[in-house]
Amino acid sequence: MGFSDYRTALVTGASSGIGAATVRRLRAEGLEVHALARDARRLASLSAETGCRICEVDVNDLAALTRLAGAAEFDVLVNNAGQSRRSNILDTAADDVDTLVDVNLSAVLHLTRLIAPGMARRNRGHVVNVSSIAGHYAFGENTTTFNSSVAYHATKAGIHSLSQQLRVDLYGTCVRVTEISPGRVATSIFQNQDAADNPDARFVGGFETLLSDDIADAIAFAVRASARMNVAMIEVVPTFQVVGELRFASRTQAAHLKDMRSGADNA
């Protein structure tokens, strides 16, 4: 297995961020990539750049997803589309809960159930689910720094569980399943958070973050792996992010720590 064995990929949430970076990466590897998103302008720009196929589709449009799934034999499915909201269970709005469940979880379940059976019949394929460390760790008072909510955490935990169970359902086939679980990534979730009037700017500009290309590289690593190897899960966090206590070293702190360690090494 690997890029030489795959021909066609579908990437959701493809108009920007991790999705767009993944489209570029898979196209560079020679795959025909169908880029799915709602933003027609950005998709057109991405298609002009990469030659990807445009799928202007809302992931909540089940009829459109069903038609798309039947239009091609997808060897690689990258479930990346997602949304976030800022709240906790004490003030979460009903619409926010519904939106996050629909986009982050239901759409992934539907696309997977529509595409994975064909992979199993062909005995070839790779499902990549982009989750989040929010699906594995509770953030407490730091939740707002991730622009996330209890519903976001719950849906990403659902993606983790889906990925595990999907491997069981596909047991005996050559279809592989990978969960990519990123920490802080410089995507639209943090858009405009460096603005001077934004109280959360200190959580972005002063910290090192992952880039979308870093996550695309992780996806490529998993897909490229030999047939005997299923990269089940990759947790990707910034070097100066400690997940267990949800600590983030700022650029200033990181430089100070580096200087201290360098001094100790030279002593």
Note the maximum CA span of the chain: 67
Mean pLDDT of 138-153: 64
Measured in whole angstroms, the distance separating CA 134 from the mean position of its chain's CA atoms is: 12
**Neighbouring-strand partners of residue 235:** 181
CA–CA dist 92, 103 (Å, integer): 17
Check: pTM over 0.75? Answer yes or no.
yes
Under 8 Å CB-to-CB from 127, ≥6 apart: which residues? 77, 79, 112, 115, 116, 119, 163, 166, 175, 176, 177, 178
List all residues 6 or more positions away from 254 whose beta carbon is below 8 Å from its beta carbon: 208, 240
Q: What is the pLDDT of residues 28-80, one digit of tens each?
A: 999 999 999 999 999 999 999 999 999 999 999 999 999 999 999 999 999 99
Q: Which of 6, 137, 152, 171 is catalytic?
A: 152
Active site residue 137: no
Tell me 169's DSSP state: H
Q: What is the pLDDT of residues 194-209, one digit of tens each?
A: 434 444 444 455 567 8
User: For 3-240, which CATH superfamily applies?
Assistant: NAD(P)-binding Rossmann-like Domain (3.40.50.720)
Length reported for the chain: 267
Greater confidence (165 vs 151) lies with: 165
Check whether 119 has a pLDDT greater than 60: yes
Pick the closest to residue 241 from 254, 252, 232, 258 (CA basis). 254
Note whether 68 and 34 are within 8 A (CB): yes
Residue from 112, 92, 93 nearest 159 by CA: 112
Categorize the per-residue pLDDT at 182 as very low, low, confident or very high, splitting at 50, 70 and 90. Answer: very high
